[in-house]
């Protein structure tokens, strides 16, 4: 594209990042992300979601957490998808109490969890034998109309 005089935009970079993470090329994806920023293209919340998801799925939770924390510093408000991606990453690493804390922060910030968010945490809690917490969230999910009781 560059050789033809066509400049990549945020959509091009986001698509490439998604593809690189899908191919387990997280180092190349991070290099591309840095190249994108160096070329003056600011990432948007969609790009950050791809980055966080790719890092979580490739075992780089520490990096994902840092980027997630930077979102608010940079003036972005994570949406339900971004929160859910981060919560999923925490659950996969067995950090259930951090996931529950993030769920609470999510709601405090005015972003309501959806059924997928609840299902991820509830499944992880049941898997770890934290049945009381799982059942509490299940009742909350039902009370919010996200699951028929």
Asked if pLDDT for residue 4 goes beyond 90, the answer is: no
Model confidence pLDDT, tens digit, residues 31-72: 999 999 999 999 999 999 999 999 999 889 999 999 999 898
Per residue, what are the HEC states of the chain? Answer: CCCCCCCCCHHHHHHHHHHHHHCCCHHHHHHHHHHHHHCCCCCCHHHHHHHHHHHHHCCCHHHHHHHHHHHHHCCCCCCHHHHHHHHHHHHHCCCHHHHHHHHHHHHHCCCCCCHHHHHHHHHHHHHCCCHHHHHHHHHHHHHCCCCCC
Please identify, in words, the CATH class of the domain defined by 1-76: mainly alpha
pLDDT at 127: 96
pLDDT tens track for 73-89 = 888 999 999 999 999 99
pLDDT tens, residue by residue, 18-35 = 999 999 999 999 999 999
């Amino acid at each position: 594209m560059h050789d033809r005089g066509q400049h990549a935009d945020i959509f091009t970079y986001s698509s490439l990042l998604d593809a690189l993470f899908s191919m387990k090329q997280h180092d190349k994806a991070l290099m591309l992300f840095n190249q994108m920023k160096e070329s003056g293209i600011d990432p948007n919340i969609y790009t950050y979601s791809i980055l966080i998801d790719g890092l979580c799925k490739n075992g780089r939770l520490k990096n994902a957490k840092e980027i997630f924390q930077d979102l608010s510093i940079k003036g972005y408000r994570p949406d339900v998808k971004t929160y859910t991606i981060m919560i999923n990453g925490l659950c996969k690493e067995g950090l259930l109490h951090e996931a529950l804390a993030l769920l609470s922060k999510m709601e405090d910030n005015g972003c309501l969890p959806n059924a997928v968010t609840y299902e991820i945490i509830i499944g992880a809690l049941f898997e770890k034998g934290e049945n009381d917490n799982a059942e509490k969230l299940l009742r909350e999910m039902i009370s919010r109309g996200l699951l028929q009781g």
